Amino acid sequence: MCNYSYIYSFNYNYHHSELCKLESRQIFDKEEKNKLLFSNIKVDPSISPFIKNRFEIISSSENYSELLKNIKKENIHIDGFKAEYLILDDDSTGYAERLNKLRDIGYRIDGQPDYYTPSITYSICNYKNVWYFGILIKHNTDWRNHKKKPCSFSNSISINIAKTLVSIASKGNKTNQILDACCGVGTVILEACISGFNIEGCDINLKACKHTKENLSYYNYTANVYHSDIKDLNKKYDSAIIDLPYNLYTYSNDTIISNIIESTAKLTARIVIVSISDIETIIKKSGLKISDFCTVEKRGTMKFTRNIWVCEKEYES
């Protein structure tokens, strides 16, 4: 009997490997390995750019015939279902055999199937000689339309990174209230909105705020965006994201960076910071503890590295 409730499968290219592992540690408290992870934590796969599927385990067995008996015992009655074979990395089951197994599944579910617009997708997979039957939830790729947002600039973080920042800051909890402390053109806010997170934005630059609002309106999203210095906000948040200014819209130096971080730390105890330089000393001077970290390279005409710092407020004992 499996001790886990869910199987998550991942997809990413090599330069996002460390970012995916950071996200995995923050959401699931452990790293994915070989693009696979077993967990009892339930999250929507569409909050992450890397999670392909969530497989909710209903039954498992090392014996395939035993698995079929267990499925029959579930006494499933539903119309509009689809049966799909989930291929995991170490599964060598051939195409013809996979089709036969899908028929086996279909015969043990009482209802009319719908292959094109299913109301639910049941799935079967094999991992390390154990057969699993369950419900398959797939990643929704609609967020990729954000690449066509009307307002952008060349050094803006990618939508993949933005989406990951939201999932890391929230730890996958959609009830959390998030602040994007230097929202720029709203790249992070768009990814939070499409995934159903509660987020607000703030930027000292009026042009940036206008561009954020234009991008939100373009996709019919709603979020509060404050044209304000972060030090002038007095709300409390569960977490915050700071994509530090790069002297594009807003001038920046170590003093300004320190003020931004310290002001944000007054609003929340959990902050995810993005920087293009080593700011470890500044973070620690701001009274924050670095709990996790990774680097990710931005590819393009000019390649540079972004640092992602997961920070927690230090509390006096």
Angle, CA 243 vertex, CA 211 and CA 245 arms, to 5°: 75
Residue 28 and residue 53 in contact, taking contact as beta carbons nearer than 8 Å: no
Output the pTM of the full model.
Answer: 0.93
Q: Is residue 37 located within the same domain as residue 148? A: no
CATH number of 210's domain: 3.40.50.150
pLDDT score, position 245: 83
Give the chain's domain count.
Answer: 2
Domain assignment of residue 17, yes or no: yes
- Among residues 88, 117, 138, which one ends one of the domains? 138
Structural domain boundaries enclosing 27: 6-138
Note the pLDDT of residue 254: 86
Give the end of a domain, one of 86, 115, 138.
138
Q: Looking at residue 153, what is its pLDDT?
A: 81
pLDDT in 10s for each residue of the chain, 317 residues: 689 999 999 999 988 999 999 999 999 999 999 999 999 999 999 999 999 999 999 999 999 999 999 999 999 999 999 999 999 988 999 999 999 999 999 999 999 999 999 999 999 999 999 999 999 999 999 999 999 999 998 778 999 999 999 999 999 999 999 999 999 999 999 999 999 999 999 999 999 999 999 999 999 999 999 999 999 999 999 999 999 986 444 455 889 999 999 999 999 999 999 999 999 999 999 999 999 999 998 665 556 789 999 999 876 44
User: What pLDDT shows up at residue 163?
Assistant: 98
Specify whether 149 is located in the same domain as 52.
Answer: no
124 lies in the same domain as 75: yes
Examine the domain organization and report whether 130 and 35 are in the same domain. Answer: yes
Rounded Cα distance between 118 and 74, Å, is: 20
Q: In what order do the strands lie in the sheet with 81-85?
A: 36-39, 6-10, 51-61, 130-138, 120-127, 81-85
In a domain, 1, yes or no: no
What order of strands is seen across the sheet that includes strand 198-203? Answer: 225-227, 198-203, 177-180, 239-243, 270-275, 304-313, 288-298
Are 188 and 232 found together in one domain? yes
Cα(97)–Cα(29) distance, rounded to whole angstroms? 36
Domain annotation covers residue 31: yes
Considering the domain architecture, whether residues 276 and 154 belong to the same structural domain is answered as yes
pLDDT for 252: 57
Q: Are residues 147 and 280 in the same domain?
A: yes
Radius of gyration of the chain (CA): 22
Contact at 8 Å (CB) between 282 and 261? yes
Of the candidates 112, 138, 164, which is a domain's last residue?
A: 138
Give the model's pLDDT for residue 242.
Answer: 97
- Write the CATH number for 51: 3.30.2130.30
256 and 116 in a single domain? The answer is no
Residue 29 and residue 52: Cα distance in Å, rounded?
Answer: 19
- Indicate whether 34 and 131 sit together in one domain: yes
C-alpha distance across the termini of the chain, in Å: 43
Whether 134 and 149 share a structural domain: no
